Amino acid sequence: MHFTCFTTGSEHVRWIDLISRLCRLEAGKMLGLRCAAGDLCGGGRLHRGLHHMQKVFVSSQSRPVSLFAPLPAAPRPRPPLQTQGCFFSRGQGSSGSSAKLKLRTRLLVTVLFGGGLMATWWFVHLEKQQKLRQQRVEQLQKVALGQGNFSLLDHRGKHRTKQDFLGSWVLLYFGFTHCPDICPDELEKLSAVVSTLDQDTSLPQIQPLFITVDPERDDVPALAQYVKDFHPRIIGLTGTSEEVTNAGRDYRVYARAGPKDEDGDYIVDHTTLIYLISPDGLFLDYYNRAKTQEQITENVRKHIKTYVRL
């Protein structure tokens, strides 16, 4: 006795889906699934095949699974986040590299441009200095003043020449110790100028010098006593009549002794100028009695600031 099991088309499709699901979930149980599928092919053995398949499936799981549960929805594909991240990262890196390259290029152009400006300025500066030197040499050649040398004794008895004062700014005055008023006044003015300029630490020290035009009376002791009343750095110079005359001639100094009185005293008529000597030992400027202390100070300061050594 036998019976035939009839299934509709939809049920048959459902069973096929279940079989496919079991095949995917239990790839390791392929042999059992194939046997169950063979039982399904026989119409009367459908329930036995399903029963056998359920036993196989349940025995391999830790918890029972319903054969008639709805199939899970297929997972949606995720966007390739990591790939996109890498793409954006590569784009940002490329942009950063381009920005760095542009910055380096700008810096290089700035440095080259600045270097060119500095080189141009330095060239113009050197050319200007050369012109100033040439102009000063031409002026000194025309004047021919203070270009000689001297060899004298200072107020301490030390031998001095013009070379001893090279490299220093010098304010020089010719006079004599028995001068009643003009020489002391001019030496006080000279000392005040030097003291004022000493207060400006940006300026070099100025050396004050006093050369006598009366060597007969102004010996070393007389000079030592006389210069005490003026600037502490002042140096008095004397020598023989010939040495003193030669020193004055280089600066076109006029000096002539007047007649002696009953006591043998006399006045020396002489040039009353203060001379400014540059560090290269050449005459630079002069100041007569009409120049005030302030005027001389500012003029000397200007010469020092604009001085270009030969």
pLDDT in tens, the chain (310 residues): 444 444 455 555 566 666 666 656 555 455 444 444 444 444 445 445 545 555 544 454 444 444 444 545 555 655 555 444 444 445 555 666 777 778 888 888 888 888 888 888 888 877 877 777 677 666 665 665 677 789 999 999 999 999 999 999 999 999 999 999 999 999 999 999 999 999 999 999 999 999 999 999 999 999 999 999 999 999 999 999 999 999 999 899 999 999 999 888 999 999 999 999 999 888 999 999 999 999 999 999 999 998 877 6
Give the list of residues 6+ apart from residue 243 with CB closer than 8 angstroms, or none. 150, 151, 152, 215
**Total-model pTM:** 0.58
Provide the pLDDT for residue 89. Answer: 47
The per-residue pLDDT for range 203-249, each reduced to its tens digit, is: 999 999 999 999 999 999 999 999 999 999 999 999 999 999 999 99
Residue ranges at the known binding site for Cu cation: 179, 183, 270
| Strands, sheet with 235-238, edge to edge from the N-terminal-most edge strand | 159-161, 151-154, 235-238, 206-212, 169-175, 274-277, 283-287
Q: Helix, strand, or coil here: 155? A: coil
**CA dist list (Å): 133 to 32, 129, 233:** 115, 6, 30
Rg, Å, the chain Cα set: 57
> DSSP labels for 81-144?
HHHHHHHHHHHHHHHHHHHHHHHHHHHHHHHHHHHHHHHHHHHHHHHHHHHHHHHHHHHHHHH-
Residue ranges at the known binding site: 179, 183, 270
Q: Phi/psi of residue 274, each to 5°? A: -100, 125
